[in-house]
C-alpha cells in the first residue's frame, strides 16, 4: 500500500516501474504475469475514462470560446482556443462568489458543530456510566433510521415556527449533529483501553480533562472522517436548502447552479463553467485528504 | 500521559465511586499534564459532585438537535398525515381522508411506480458492479491509489453538478449523441422520452454510487482469508469459479448490506430525476418520483402539508418494508 500510495500520476508514465516486474507481486508474494497486469491496467483505464471523463468533458466545454462549435460530431475533446471568458460570464449572471461563500459558511459551521457535538455525545455514550445512557443511545439509533427525505416538510414547518426559515442557520441546523457521527465517535471511544483514563481519574482529573486531554487526542482519525463527511455533505446538499431558502441572495452554490441551469439551460458553456466552480474545490479537498478515506482498506494485503 | 501501573485494583471501581485509598497512592505518575498532583482527595470529591450532571451536559447538544430536528419532525409528519394542515392554516383532524385521496390520485400512483422501478433498476447494478470494481482495484499494483481516488470522484461531487454534467452529456446535441452519430447510430432523445429519461437518471445514480459501494466492498474483501483462494486454486478452480465459490460467499453479508442501503436510497430518489426531468417531472409529470411529489405538494404558500405528510408516511412504510425484505432474504439463504 505505502509504495503504491506515493504514486499519484497516471501509470501511463511509469514505464520504468513496469519494467522492474520483480517489484510487482500479488498479495501472495508471487510475481504477477505481464499479460494479467496489462489487462488490469486496460480495465482500470477504461473505468477511469468512464468516471473522470464526464468531468473533463465539462471542463473542456467551459473553456471553449463563443466562436467554437461545442456540438460538433465527431466531438472535439480539447478546446481550440482555451479561454476563461465563461467563468467571467457566470460571475456576471449570478453572484457565484457570494454563493460559494454561503456554501463555505454552511459547510464550515457543519464541520465545527458535528465534530464538537458528536465527540461530546459519543464520549458520553461510550464512557460514562449513568442511568438513561441506553435510552440516549437508542435515541441516536432511531434518529439514524429516520429517512430525512420523508420529514423534510415537517422540518420546514419546524424551522418556520423557530423563525429560521430562509436563513443559513436554518440550512445548517437539522444536520448540525448527525446521529450517524455520534455513533461513529461512540465506537471510536469504545475502542480505547479504559485503563489510561482510569489512571487519570485516580490522579484527580475530572471528566472534562479526561475527555479533552486523553480520549480526544486518541480518536483523531475518526474525527477527521467525521469532519470530511460533514464538509462534503453540507457542500453537496440540495433538497433541504432548496426547500428552506427562498431569497436568491442567500442561495448556496448547489441551489444557485440549479437556478442558473433553470434560467440559462440553453447556454451550455455557462452552466459548464458554473459546475466546475462548484466541484473543483471539493475535488481538490478530497485529493488532499484521500489517504484518510482509504486508511484501513487493504489492511488484509501484504505491505510492500 | 498517566501510566496505568498500580491501578489493577481500581479497575473494578466504577468512576462513580471514590477509589480506595490504596489505589490512588503511587499511581500519580510524574508529568501527567500538571494536574492532579497533590490534591487527589479534593479532586475525587469534585469528580463525585460532577458525575451525575456532566454526562447529560456532554450528550445534551446532540440529544437536543436530534430531538428537535429529526425525531420531532418525524412524529409531527405522522400526526400531520391525518390532518388537512396547510402551510399557513393549522388544519384539523380528518382521519384517513388523505390516504383515501391518495388511492384515487393518479400522480401518486405514477410516483409510486417510478420509485419502485428505480429500486428494481438500480439495486442489482449497485450490488454487482462495485464488487467487480473492488476486485479490480484490490491488488496493490503501482498507481492503484490514484485509481481508487479517481473512481471515488463522482461520490465527492455534488448531485447537482453530476446531474448537470449528465444533462449536457445526454443532450440532443451532447457528447453521447455526437459519438452515436459519428459511429452511424443516429441521435437518441434521452431526455425527451419518459422511459429513456428514467433510465438515464438510473444510469447517473449507478455512476455516482459505484465508488461509494466499492469502498465498502474493499473493506470486506480485505477480510477474506487468502487460504480459501489458495485452496481453490490448488483444486484447479479458474478465476470465475473462484469468484463464485470463494469471493461471493465470503462477502455475501456485505452484498446484503449494500442491497439494503442502495434500495432504500433508490426508493427515496429525488435530485437526479428533479434535475434531469425538471421540477415538473418530465413530459406530463410522467417521471415524478414519490419524494418529488412530497416536495411539490408540501412546499410553497399553499402547500398541502397534511397531504404531503401522508405521502411521506407511505415512503416510511415502504422503506421499512424494503429493509425487512432484504434482511429476510438474507436469513432464508442462511437456513
pLDDT score recorded for residue A209? 86
Q: Give the largest CA-CA distance in chain A.
A: 76
Residue in A47, A213, A232 closest to B33 by CB: A213
Burial B84-100 (b: 16+ CB within 10 A, else e): bbbbeeeeeebeeebbe
Q: Is the pLDDT at B136 greater than 50, yes or no?
A: yes
CA distance B117 to chain A (A): 18
pLDDT score recorded for residue B36? 37
Burial A167-179 (b: 16+ CB within 10 A, else e): bbebbbbbbbbbb
- Contact residues for B250 (Cβ-Cβ < 8 A; gap 6+): B220, B223, B224, B225, B228
Cβ contact B121:B202 at 8 Å: yes
C-beta atoms of B312 and A150 within 8 A:
yes
Residue in A73, A153, A253 closest to B305 by CB: A153
pLDDT score recorded for residue A266? 81
Q: Is the pLDDT at B32 greater than 80, yes or no?
A: no
Cβ contact A107:A253 at 8 Å: no
Cβ contact A54:B166 at 8 Å: yes
Confidence of residue B132 (pLDDT cuts 50, 70, 90): very high
C-beta atoms of A153 and B308 within 8 A:
yes
Residue in A27, A73, A196 closest to B181 by CB: A73
Q: Is the pLDDT at B147 greater than 80, yes or no?
A: yes
- How many interface pairs between A and B have CB atoms less than 8 angstroms apart? 385
B199-222 pLDDT, tens digit per residue, is 999 999 999 999 999 988 988 888
B157-168 pLDDT, tens digit per residue, is 999 999 999 999
CB atoms within 10 A of CB B253: 12
Which chain A residues have a beta carbon less than 8 Å from that of B24? 202-203
Interface test with B, best of A25, A151, A228, A275 (most B CBs within 10 A): A151
Interface test with B, best of A10, A150, A179, A240 (most B CBs within 10 A): A150
What are the phi and psi torsion angles at B93 (to 5°)?
A: -65, 125
pTM of the model: 0.82
B201 to chain A, any CB pair closer than 8 A? The answer is no
Residue in B35, B63, B308 closest to A205 by CB: B35
pLDDT score recorded for residue B7? 35
Which letter does DSSP use for residue B70 in this model? I
Confidence of residue B25 (pLDDT cuts 50, 70, 90): very low
List of chain A residues with pLDDT < 70: 1-32, 130, 293-304
Ramachandran assignment for B19, one of left (phi > 0), alpha (psi -120 to 50 degrees), beta (any other): beta
Nearest CA in chain B to A258: B160
Nearest CA in chain B to A240: B295
- Contact residues for B165 (Cβ-Cβ < 8 A; gap 6+): A54, A55, A57, A58, A275
Which chain B residues have a beta carbon less than 8 Å from that of A209? 33, 35
B235 to chain A, any CB pair closer than 8 A? The answer is no
Q: Is the pLDDT at B8 greater than 80, yes or no?
A: no
C-beta atoms of B2 and A254 within 8 A:
no
Which letter does DSSP use for residue B224 in this model? S
Q: Which helix (H) or strand (E) holds B193?
A: none
Nearest CA in chain B to A199: B4
B43-60 pLDDT, tens digit per residue, is 444 444 444 557 788 999
Q: What is the mean pLDDT of residues B68-96?
A: 93
CA distance B54 to chain A (A): 8
pLDDT score recorded for residue A197? 79
Cβ contact A291:B164 at 8 Å: no
Cβ contact B248:B240 at 8 Å: no
Residue in B150, B173, B309 closest to A154 by CB: B309
Beta bridge partners of A127: none
What are the phi and psi torsion angles at A31 (to 5°)?
A: -65, 145
Nearest CA in chain B to A253: B160
pLDDT score recorded for residue A294? 67
Q: Is the pLDDT at B284 greater than 90, yes or no?
A: no
C-beta atoms of A136 and B27 within 8 A:
no
A186-200 pLDDT, tens digit per residue, is 988 888 887 877 888
Single out the residue of B304, B316, B269, B280 nearest to residue A157, CA to CA: B304
pLDDT score recorded for residue B335? 53
Cβ contact A292:A220 at 8 Å: no
Which chain B residues have a beta carbon less than 8 Å from that of A280? none
pLDDT score recorded for residue B301? 81
pLDDT score recorded for residue B333? 66
Residue in A71, A232, A238 closest to B156 by CB: A232
Which chain B residues have a beta carbon less than 8 Å from that of A13? none
C-beta atoms of A125 and B59 within 8 A:
yes
C-beta atoms of B157 and A55 within 8 A:
yes
Percent of chain B at pLDDT exceeding 70: 83
Provide the grid cell at B158.
455534488
pLDDT score recorded for residue B222? 82
Provide the grid cell at B95.
382521519
Confidence of residue B326 (pLDDT cuts 50, 70, 90): confident
C-beta atoms of B219 and A296 within 8 A:
yes
pLDDT score recorded for residue A291? 76
C-beta atoms of A124 and B11 within 8 A:
no
Q: How far apart are CA A179 and CA A172, in angstroms?
A: 15
Nearest CA in chain B to A17: B142
Q: What is the mean pLDDT of residues B292-296?
A: 94
C-beta atoms of A271 and B164 within 8 A:
yes
Confidence of residue B121 (pLDDT cuts 50, 70, 90): very high
Single out the residue of A48, A231, A8, A105 nearest to residue B156, CA to CA: A231
Rg (chain A; Cα; Å): 25
Amino acid at each position: 500500500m505505502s509504495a503504491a500510495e506515493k504514486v499519484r500520476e497516471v501509470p501511463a508514465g511509469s514505464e520504468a516501474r513496469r519494467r522492474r516486474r520483480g517489484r510487482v507481486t500479488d498479495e501472495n508474494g508471487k510475481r504477477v504475469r505481464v499479460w494479467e497486469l496489462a489487462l488490469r491496467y486496460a480495465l482500470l483505464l477504461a473505468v477511469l475514462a468512464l468516471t473522470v471523463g464526464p468531468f473533463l468533458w465539462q471542463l473542456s466545454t467551459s473553456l471553449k470560446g463563443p466562436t467554437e462549435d461545442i456540438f460538433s460530431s465527431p466531438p472535439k475533446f480539447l478546446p481550440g482556443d482555451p479561454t476563461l471568458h465563461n467563468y467571467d460570464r457566470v460571475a456576471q449572471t449570478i453572484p457565484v462568489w457570494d454563493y460559494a461563500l454561503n456554501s463555505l459558511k454552511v459547510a464550515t459551521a457543519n464541520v465545527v458543530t458535528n465534530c464538537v457535538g458528536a465527540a461530546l455525545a459519543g464520549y458520553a455514550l461510550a464512557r460514562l456510566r449513568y442511568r438513561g445512557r441506553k435510552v440516549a443511545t437508542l435515541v441516536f439509533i432511531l434518529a439514524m433510521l429516520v429517512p430525512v427525505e420523508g420529514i423534510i416538510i415537517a422540518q420546514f414547518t419546524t424551522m418556520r415556527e423557530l423563525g429560521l426559515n430562509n436563513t443559513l442557520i436554518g440550512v445548517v441546523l437539522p444536520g448540525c449533529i448527525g446521529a450517524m457521527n455520534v455513533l461513529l465517535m461512540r465506537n471510536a471511544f469504545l475502542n480505547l483501553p479504559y485503563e489510561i483514563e482510569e489512571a487519570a481519574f485516580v490522579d484527580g482529573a475530572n471528566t472534562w480533562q479526561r475527555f479533552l486531554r486523553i480520549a480526544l487526542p486518541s480518536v483523531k482519525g475518526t474525527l477527521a472522517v467525521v469532519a470530511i463527511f460533514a464538509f462534503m455533505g453540507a457542500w453537496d446538499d440540495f433538497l433541504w436548502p432548496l426547500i428552506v431558502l427562498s431569497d436568491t441572495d442567500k442561495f448556496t452554490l448547489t441551489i444557485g447552479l440549479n437556478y442558473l441551469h433553470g434560467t440559462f439551460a440553453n447556454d451550455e458553456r455557462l452552466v459548464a463553467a458554473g459546475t466546475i466552480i462548484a466541484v473543483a474545490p471539493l475535488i481538490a479537498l478530497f485529493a488532499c485528504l484521500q489517504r484518510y478515506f482509504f486508511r484501513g482498506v487493504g489492511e488484509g494485503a501484504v505491505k510492500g | 500521559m498517566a501510566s496505568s501501573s498500580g491501578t489493577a485494583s481500581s479497575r473494578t471501581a466504577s468512576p462513580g465511586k471514590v477509589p480506595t485509598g490504596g489505589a490512588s497512592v503511587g499511581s500519580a505518575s510524574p508529568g501527567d499534564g500538571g494536574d492532579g498532583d497533590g490534591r487527589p482527595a479534593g479532586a475525587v470529591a469534585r469528580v463525585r459532585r460532577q458525575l451525575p450532571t456532566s454526562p447529560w451536559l456532554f450528550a445534551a447538544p446532540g440529544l437536543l438537535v436530534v430531538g428537535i430536528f429529526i425525531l420531532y419532525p418525524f412524529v409531527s409528519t405522522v400526526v400531520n398525515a391525518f390532518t388537512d394542515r396547510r402551510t399557513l392554516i393549522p388544519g384539523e383532524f380528518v382521519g384517513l381522508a388523505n390516504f383515501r385521496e391518495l388511492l384515487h390520485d393518479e400522480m401518486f400512483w405514477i410516483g409510486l411506480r417510478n420509485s419502485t422501478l428505480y429500486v428494481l433498476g438500480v439495486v442489482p447494478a449497485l450490488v454487482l458492479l462495485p464488487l467487480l470494481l473492488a476486485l479490480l482495484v484490490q491488488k496493490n499494483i503501482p498507481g492503484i491509489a490514484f485509481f481508487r481516488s479517481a473512481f471515488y470522484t463522482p461520490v465527492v461531487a455534488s448531485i447537482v453538478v453530476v446531474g448537470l454534467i449528465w444533462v449536457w452529456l445526454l443532450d440532443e446535441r451532447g457528447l453521447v449523441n455526437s459519438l452515436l452519430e459519428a459511429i452511424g447510430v443516429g441521435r437518441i432523445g434521452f431526455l425527451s422520452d419518459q422511459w429513456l429519461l428514467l433510465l438515464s437518471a438510473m444510469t447517473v445514480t449507478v455512476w455516482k454510487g459505484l465508488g461509494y459501494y466499492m469502498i465498502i466492498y474493499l473493506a470486506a474483501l480485505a477480510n477474506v482469508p487468502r487460504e480459501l483462494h489458495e485452496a481453490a486454486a490448488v483444486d484447479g478452480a479458474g478465476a470465475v469459479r473462484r469468484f463464485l465459490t470463494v469471493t461471493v460467499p465470503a462477502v455475501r453479508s456485505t452484498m446484503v448490506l449494500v442491497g439494503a442501503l442502495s434500495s432504500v436510497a433508490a426508493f427515496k430518489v429525488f435530485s437526479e430525476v428533479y434535475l434531469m426531468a425538471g421540477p415538473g417531472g418530465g413530459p406530463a409529470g410522467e417521471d415524478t418520483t414519490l419524494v418529488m411529489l412530497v416536495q411539490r405538494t408540501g412546499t410553497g404558500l399553499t402547500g398541502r402539508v397534511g397531504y404531503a405528510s401522508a405521502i411521506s408516511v407511505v415512503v416510511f412504510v415502504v422503506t421499512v418494508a424494503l429493509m425487512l425484505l432484504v434482511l429476510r432474504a438474507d436469513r432464508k439463504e442462511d437456513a
